[in-house]
Structure 1
């Protein structure tokens, strides 16, 4: 599906992947800032505003852009928006709530591996044996993070472990489906820029969450004060602009520059940055196991980049 990457594309693509991970990592701070709201309300707040911002930004070019968006394109955007945004966020939140952080972290840690395995079947992809060292390090890093989560939450009791595990596996499948589908859609729809594709995704995601918003409000019986709603609006707007508008645009641009086998490794940066932000928020240094996980993540990406650099240099 991808043409062989050049050295120039590798550098730009990796920079975009790191930037997307840095912005997406901020999402993990949002629940700490607006604790009194449910996960579904947080999702609706973020994605409705994502849709509104996207509508404002796409409006000046809509007359030209609308002629290139077919019904098939809208269908692609709709299922990608549902799989990668709405469904993933709700499933992930449900997994943590029912099964705890430990099992969820371990399951979601397989994301880069799954995407890399799927990408290895693409045309011009590197043989899987060349990616094996990177995949093994990725798994080691995920195991370290899971072990740390298990140690930190040893005394917590999961409400429904089996339900939580099912939700985590479903979230893993949902985002893998999005990552692979979005990468391949961008290859097919090269007449759209990464920014335009992101704005169109925002319109589809926003429309879905406008429908879900009344349900989210109905299910929440907690009374919220004016200041809490103000904080909710500010945090939702910040996450929508930084993570959804800017972060997704960088991710889409990266998809246009890198092969899918390397795209899978870039997902690790979201975990890396979210952990860094968590340490800053908690005002502490990483533990030995967390430091080992950091090292595995960085080395995994470096080995994957090195494996792709050889054919890029030849090209």
Structure 2
């Protein structure tokens, strides 16, 4: 399915995509801030709080809202929550802990390519040849990041396992990005905010069930200060990335076609790299600067490719 042209708003959609990317980029730092905890504990901490925050926000309207959510929609929300939240964050945290921020960012950087390729098959989507320059620059940027990562990775963790986790996270989130975009087209009676809160309820329930297993599988004894830090980081990521970031992303999905949605994921890559440089207290290398340039121009070319058809469709509808 494809978003009708009259619903497109490039300016607002891109702004929402940038905001979501800035907030989502923070999740790459979280595993470094609470390294003594397992990836499953990190996921449970973040998403149980996401569910609690969502429950508190939806409670005043729950009696009315609950009647608009059939069983089939709950099934959709649950598999999207698992693919895009629970499984993705466990895999991402494992990738960062074992392979580092930069290597993980490289692999996740291929998300726009996969999502754009899938979106190009939608009805009325732009032909792939018009998106090829943007996709080429996206791939070039990811390769530059990967080249730099291979020559600067000095922490002896488990780089191959980290790479496998990153690739699995890539697949998991691609399923979510495509499925969520198409679900929002079908579920237009839900606002982006309400869809995010319902997703939060599903995600929170999943991770509440997983919490005892997460605690059982962690052999480490944590002190009060570590648990306090864990709670603070989990709450921050839940509020900023899950509540605010997801709401912006869902709104963007309602405004942009899937072929452009894919390119918006690049903002998460850009911001996560920036946060990584701040964390490592260094400036980007020449290769990483080239990667930044490729990513920025990739988005600009994709926006340019979409602007003319949308303008033509708008003019036709008002004629």
Shorter-chain TM-score: what band? over 0.9
Q: Which one of the candidate residues 275, 287, 290 is aligned to 1:289?
A: 287
Contact 2:266-2:295 within 8 A present in 1 as well: yes
**Structure 2 equivalent of residue 150 of structure 1:** 150
> Structure 2 vs 1, CA of residues 251 and 112 (structure 1 numbering), >3 Å: closer, same or farther?
same
Matched, 1:215 2:213: yes
TM-score for the superposition, normalised by structure 1: 0.94
State the alpha-carbon separation in 2 of the partners of residues 136 and 47 from structure 1: 35
**Structure 2 equivalent of residue 121 of structure 1:** 121
State the alpha-carbon separation in 2 of the partners of residues 3 and 105 from structure 1: 29
Matched, 1:14 2:31: no
**Structure 1 equivalent of residue 53 of structure 2:** 53
TM-score for the superposition, normalised by structure 2: 0.93
State the alpha-carbon separation in 2 of the partners of residues 30 and 164 from structure 1: 16
State the alpha-carbon separation in 2 of the partners of residues 221 and 249 from structure 1: 36
> Structure 2 vs 1, CA of residues 208 and 173 (structure 1 numbering), >3 Å: closer, same or farther?
same
What's the offset of the Cα at 1:5?
3.7
Contact 2:145-2:287 within 8 A present in 1 as well: yes
State the alpha-carbon separation in 2 of the partners of residues 276 and 306 from structure 1: 25
Out of 129-138 and 207-216, give the one that drifted further: 207-216
What's the offset of the Cα at 1:226?
1.0
State the alpha-carbon separation in 2 of the partners of residues 93 and 29 from structure 1: 9
> Structure 2 vs 1, CA of residues 266 and 96 (structure 1 numbering), >3 Å: closer, same or farther?
same
Contact 1:102-1:150 within 8 A present in 2 as well: no
- How is 1:153-232 mapped onto 2 (pairs within 5 angstroms)? 153=153, 155-157=154-156, 159=158, 161=160, 164-232=162-230
User: How many pairs align?
Assistant: 313
What's the offset of the Cα at 1:170?
2.3
**Structure 2 equivalent of residue 266 of structure 1:** 264
Contact 2:142-2:291 within 8 A present in 1 as well: yes
What's the offset of the Cα at 1:169?
2.9
> Structure 2 vs 1, CA of residues 164 and 37 (structure 1 numbering), >3 Å: closer, same or farther?
closer
> Structure 2 vs 1, CA of residues 110 and 8 (structure 1 numbering), >3 Å: closer, same or farther?
closer
**Structure 1 equivalent of residue 244 of structure 2:** 246
CA displacement, residues 213-266 of structure 1 (integer Å, 9 cap, x when unaligned): 111111111111111111111111111000000000000000000000000000
5+ residue gaps, structure 2: 314-319
- How is 1:1-80 mapped onto 2 (pairs within 5 angstroms)? 1-5=1-5, 9-80=9-80
5+ residue gaps, structure 1: none
State the alpha-carbon separation in 2 of the partners of residues 7 and 255 from structure 1: 10
What's the offset of the Cα at 1:92?
2.6
RMSD: 1.8
Contact 2:32-2:97 within 8 A present in 1 as well: no
State the alpha-carbon separation in 1 of the partners of residues 140 and 2 from structure 2: 28
Contact 1:43-1:86 within 8 A present in 2 as well: yes
Q: Which one of the candidate residues 299, 304, 307 is aligned to 2:305?
A: 307
What's the offset of the Cα at 1:63?
0.7
> Structure 2 vs 1, CA of residues 14 and 202 (structure 1 numbering), >3 Å: closer, same or farther?
same
Contact 2:8-2:257 within 8 A present in 1 as well: no
What's the offset of the Cα at 1:104?
4.4
